[in-house]
């Protein structure tokens, strides 16, 4: 693969982090608004879950843009104990058209997707995280 092909390849990044103490949903709304603007500018798409003291986010786009964005996340004081779950090439986007979609808690959907209703993404494999996003979107629409 040439260097220019590598830059143009599509990648998927999934991370989970603990929410900084005192963070409430008004701050999450601000994060979503800024993410939508920045991700659209940078050609990234994705989805975010904020639940039970954790963030889990999936981002798709070019390697360089994802690396820069993840670097900002690592420096963001609203996140702690950031855990990179997956950073891999992919063939297509799952979240086309979404600069950033928020996947809010829907009891019946969380129960079906997690099997228990408990959200502990830092304990999950990349496969389980990917499955969570795919199934959540399929069930919640």
C-alpha angle 89-95-97 in degrees, rounded to nearest 5: 125
pLDDT at 5: 43
Give the start-to-end residue ranges of the domains of the chain: 3-104
CATH class of domain segment(s) 3-104: alpha beta
The 3-state DSSP class for residue 27 equals helix
Buried b (16+ CB within 10 A) or exposed e, 126-139: eeebbebbeebbee
pTM beyond 0.75: the answer is yes
pLDDT at 8: 59
Of 77, 83, 69, 1, which Cα lies nearest the Cα of 38?
69
Residue pLDDT tens, the chain, 141 long: 333 344 559 999 999 998 888 877 788 888 888 888 999 999 999 999 888 888 999 999 999 999 999 999 999 888 889 999 999 999 999 888 888 888 876 667 777 887 777 788 999 999 999 998 888 888 876
């Amino acid at each position: 693969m040439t260097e220019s092909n590598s830059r143009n390849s599509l990648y998927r990044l999934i991370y989970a982090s603990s929410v900084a103490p005192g963070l409430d949903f008004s701050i999450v709304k601000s994060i979503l608004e800024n993410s939508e603007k920045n991700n659209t500018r940078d050609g990234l798409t994705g989805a975010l879950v904020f639940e039970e003291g954790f963030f889990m986010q999936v981002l798709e786009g070019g390697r360089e843009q994802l690396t820069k964005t993840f670097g900002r996340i690592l420096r963001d004081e609203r996140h702690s104990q950031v855990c990179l779950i997956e950073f891999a090439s992919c063939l297509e986007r799952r979240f086309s058209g979404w600069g950033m979609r928020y996947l809010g808690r829907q009891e019946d959907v969380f129960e079906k997707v997690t099997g228990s209703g408990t959200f502990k993404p830092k304990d999950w494999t990349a496969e389980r995280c990917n499955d969570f996003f795919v199934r959540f979107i399929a069930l919640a629409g």
